[in-house]
Amino acid sequence: MVFPERFSNLPEYAFPRLRKLLDAHAPGGDPIAMTIGEPRHAMPDFVGPILAAQVNGFSVYPPNDGTPGLLAAISGWLARRYGVAVSEDRLMALNGTREGLFNAAIALAPETKAGKRPVILMPNPFYQVYAVAALTVGAEPVYVPATAETGFLPDYEGLPAEVLDRVTVAYLCSPANPQGAVAPADYLARLLALAERHDFRLFVDECYSEIWRDAPPPGGLAVASAAGADPERVVVFHSLSKRSNLPGLRSGFVAAGPHCMARIRQLRAFAGAPLPLPIQHVSEAAWNDEAHVDASRALYQQKFRIADQVFSGLVNRAAPEGGFFLWLPVPGGDGEAAALKLWRETGVRVLPGAYLSRDTAAGNPGTSYIRVALVAPEEETQRGLTRLRDCLYG
């Protein structure tokens, strides 16, 4: 039996790989999970009542692109948050943004460019769906280091012209997963100009945009609007998973230019999975409400302060500007060994940075790091970080 080769070189996914590393060993204390980016703050109070009131909606096929109410709520939120006017024909509800990040490449990335195999750029480390999307459309994934030397953002401008001329899509995550770096407006503007010069699209993953330390991160749509850029140049993705503590809702949206959106919607019509109608009603309420977002953000900001206190003077680390991960360099430079030591001696469970990265000619930029999720309640977070510090840096 023959299988496709396009995914044959994929490493095992991060969390099965982590289970193989750790689960054969007993934890050295009561387990504290700090691996997966699954928010554990309270979900908004309105979720249950809306689902109960709309339960009959599970008996009908939902609108493919999103209800008028949901699309209006998203459009209104973009106007309030970024000061941009995005009409509802430029929006589509997503069954989780991973669906959108994957399917947008299928809908929008051409099969060739200048008669050559196309390139899709992504930061390294990165959210793993970017690489799978590139391989699915037959593109060459190019992993661009996002390290301390580059401010934990990829230096796409530094790539050779012959590579940039083959690029069809460049992924960017801001705030970055896992490093928490925020792309400043001038960085986004330069990247947009680079995309104009070399004729490619930006896929801007802004799923962590509402979790920030000091100031709201700039958005791709706002920068493009201020520059008067072609609206087809930028495709932006947002989620309720992190913003509203609703990862199980599997609800987000994509915003794009009208021609891009027509192709994204066409693919959804043939092969997508629209959000159930009750989920769309909950999502509409979530995009219309900021109080629960403000309350959740305050909890994350307190956990940033806890991390600053726990690691004060001990770790040469970059404090995250946004998101809810710590990206910690480990003594000895082996994140996998550090994660195993931490589990066996303390019961704290973290993710080796190499599991989020790829080996390149320049090495694997995640090898000497661990990713630590600040998603647990405050007291548990403090206990976990204190154990981690004493075990690895004491």
Q: Tell me the CB-side half-sphere exposure of residue 164, using CA atoms within 13 A.
A: 17
Q: What pLDDT sits at residue 320?
A: 94
Q: Which DSSP category does 104 fall into?
A: H
d(C-alpha 136, C-alpha 127), whole Å = 16
For the chain, the average pLDDT equals: 96
Q: Comparing C-alpha atoms, which of 180, 182, 191 is closest to residue 308?
A: 180
The one-character DSSP state at 306 is H
Per-residue pLDDT reduced to its tens digit, 172-194:
999 999 999 999 999 999 999 99
The pLDDT profile of the chain, 394 residues, written as one tens digit per residue, is 888 888 888 899 999 999 999 999 999 999 999 999 999 999 999 999 999 999 999 999 999 999 999 999 999 999 999 999 999 999 999 999 999 999 999 999 999 998 999 999 999 999 999 999 999 999 999 999 999 999 999 999 999 999 999 999 999 999 999 999 999 999 999 999 999 999 999 999 999 999 999 999 999 999 999 999 999 999 999 999 999 999 999 999 999 999 999 999 999 999 989 999 999 999 999 999 999 999 999 999 999 999 999 999 876 787 899 999 999 999 999 999 999 999 999 999 999 999 999 999 889 999 999 999 999 999 999 999 999 999 999 8
Among 305, 308, 347, 344, which residue's Cα sits nearest to residue 328?
A: 308
What pLDDT, on the 0 to 100 scale, is given for residue 8? 86
Which domains are present in the chain? 14-42+292-392 (3.90.1150.10), 61-289 (3.40.640.10)
What pLDDT shows up at residue 394?
83
Q: What single DSSP character describes residue 217? A: P
d(CA 246, CA 286): 10
Q: Where are the alpha helices (DSSP H) in the chain?
A: 14-22, 47-53, 68-82, 97-108, 129-136, 161-164, 185-198, 220-227, 240-243, 258-271, 277-287, 291-310, 335-346, 378-392
Please report the beta strands in 136-183, taking only residues with DSSP state E, as ranges in sequence order: 140-145, 167-173
How far is the CA of 89 from the CAs of 97, 140, 205, in angstroms? 18, 31, 20
